[in-house]
């Protein structure tokens, strides 16, 4: 029995890690498809329908399928128009998925994962650490967008009788982080450590975040999907929201101290101010009470993950990237 997975956003930080972790599992196989026509909103639904039809056609008796949604261009500072456009695109693609699944009625059970954001949805919530029982209180359009996408997914999954998991991911870090976006503090700190230009930090150094290494997160995603597929196969498809985090709060000051220790030199950091800091919560410790047995695993220690990130950044800079 094999689980066939279509990874949407396979070249990004999370998607590339999911691809790596799929390759490490004997009973999983990545379904490789052409990229979606992101610049053509009028074509994405048909393209998604064709891809999922091909995915379902690959299944042998006893096989399962899943979709891992790790794509996305918007960030906290994106405009309302950008959020609306990306949500509409997500809805269109899921509609294409739904058409393919409907056409293949009676095929093997499946599940869909959506990469949501713990920081986005809990930014205004009270009483950390935040669990799935904490009322989400976004304070930015980004958080509103993530909640809306979660709702879209659960509605489509319920209509199709497939499982769905909205994974509210803590601060993701590790090799593969794009520095084109103002995201990924650890990667920005690592790059600054190897260049003359300092990393700018616009929030207080006692700001608390939960940092989860990307490969650890990818493994947790696959285990969540396996659980969701098993429940669907048993006739109990669920729409699950789960926080994906380490459960450990780390201050920015601690990150800087770790980097200093790893690199054997003072951190190249500049403190500043920004209006965007108002959209950042001070304490975003995250925990999970949903499927807690899946969280019982060895995780990559923060110093090891930071060292790996620094090594990758050094390699990229040596290549002139």
The predicted pLDDT at position 214 comes to 98
What percent of the chain has pLDDT above 90?
A: 80
The predicted pLDDT at position 10 comes to 96
* Res 280 pLDDT > 90: no
Average pLDDT, the chain: 93
Q: What is the DSSP letter of 277?
A: G
Distance CA 274, CA 234 (A): 51
The predicted pLDDT at position 275 comes to 61
Tens of pLDDT, residue by residue over 78-93, are: 999 999 999 999 999 9
> Do you know the residue count of the chain?
321
Cis peptide before 129 (omega within 30 of 0): yes
Distance CA 103, CA 281 (A): 45
Extract the tokens encoding 28.
């999983």
The predicted pLDDT at position 178 comes to 73
pLDDT-derived band at 181 (thresholds 50, 70, 90) equals low
The predicted pLDDT at position 105 comes to 66
Extract the tokens encoding 50.
């064709």
The predicted pLDDT at position 146 comes to 98
The predicted pLDDT at position 112 comes to 98
| φ and ψ at residue 131, rounded to 5 degrees | -115, 180
Spatial strand order in the sheet of 3-8: 28-30, 3-8, 64-69, 110-117, 163-169, 239-244
pLDDT-derived band at 182 (thresholds 50, 70, 90) equals low
Of the candidates 113, 116, 122, 167, the residue with the CA atom closest to the CA atom of residue 286: 122
Tens of pLDDT, residue by residue over 213-262, are: 999 999 999 999 999 999 999 999 999 999 999 999 999 999 999 999 99
Tell me the Ramachandran region of residue 103: left when phi exceeds 0, alpha when psi lies from -120 to 50, beta otherwise.
alpha
Tens of pLDDT, residue by residue over 21-79, are: 999 999 999 999 999 999 999 999 999 999 999 999 999 999 999 999 999 999 988 99
The predicted pLDDT at position 278 comes to 62
- DSSP code per residue over 235-272: T---EEEEEE--S--EEHHHHHHHHHHHHTS---EEE-
Distance CA 47, CA 24 (A): 28
Q: What is the DSSP letter of 77?
A: T
The predicted pLDDT at position 277 comes to 61
Tens of pLDDT, residue by residue over 102-115, are: 998 667 889 999 99
Distance CA 73, CA 141 (A): 14
Distance CA 104, CA 93 (A): 17
Assess contact for 229 and 111: CB atoms under 8 A.
Answer: yes
Strand-pair category, 64-69 with 269-271: unpaired
Least confident range from 54-63, 121-130, 192-201, 267-276: namely 267-276
What percent of the chain has pLDDT above 70?
A: 95
Of the candidates 153, 180, 182, the residue with the CA atom closest to the CA atom of residue 167: 153
* Res 98 pLDDT > 70: yes
* Res 210 pLDDT > 80: yes
Assess contact for 121 and 168: CB atoms under 8 A.
Answer: yes
Go through the domains of the chain in sequence order and give each one's CATH number: 3-174+212-247+285-297 (3.40.50.720)
> Which residue spans within 118-268 are E strands per DSSP?
163-169, 171-173, 199-201, 208-209, 211-213, 239-244, 250-251
């Amino acid at each position: 029995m094999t689980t066939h997975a279509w990874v949407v956003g396979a070249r990004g930080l999370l998607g590339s890690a999911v691809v790596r972790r799929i390759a490490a599992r004997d009973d999983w196989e990545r379904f490789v498809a052409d990229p979606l026509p992101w610049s053509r909103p009028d074509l994405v639904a048909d393209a998604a329908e064709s891809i999922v039809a091909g995915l379902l056609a690959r299944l042998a008796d006893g096989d399962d399928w899943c979709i891992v949604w790790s794509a996305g261009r918007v960030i906290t500072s994106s405009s309302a128009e950008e959020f609306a456009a990306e949500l509409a695109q997500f809805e269109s693609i899921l509609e294409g998925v739904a058409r393919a699944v409907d056409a293949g009625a009676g095929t093997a059970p499946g599940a869909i994962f959506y990469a949501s954001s713990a920081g986005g949805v809990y930014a205004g919530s009270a009483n950390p650490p935040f669990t799935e029982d904490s009322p989400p209180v976004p304070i930015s359009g980004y958080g509103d967008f993530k909640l809306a996408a979660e709702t879209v997914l659960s509605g489509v999954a319920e209509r199709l009788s497939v499982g769905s998991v909205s994974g509210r991911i803590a601060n993701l870090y590790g090799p593969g982080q794009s520095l084109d976006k103002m995201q990924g503090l650890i990667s920005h700190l690592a790059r600054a450590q190897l260049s003359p230009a300092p990393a700018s930090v616009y929030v207080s150094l006692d700001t608390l975040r939960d940092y989860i290494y990307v490969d650890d997160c990818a493994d947790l995603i696959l285990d969540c999907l396996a659980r969701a597929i098993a429940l669907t196969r048993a006739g109990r498809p669920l729409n699950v929201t789960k926080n994906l985090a380490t459960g450990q709060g780390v201050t920015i000051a601690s990150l800087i101290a770790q980097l200093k220790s790893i690199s054997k030199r003072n951190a190249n950091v500049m403190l500043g101010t920004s209006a965007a800091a108002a959209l950042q919560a001070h304490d975003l410790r995250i925990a999970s009470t949903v499927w807690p047995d899946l969280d019982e695993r060895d995780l990559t220690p923060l110093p090891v993950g930071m060292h790996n990130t620094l090594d990758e950044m050094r390699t990229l800079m040596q290549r002139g990237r």
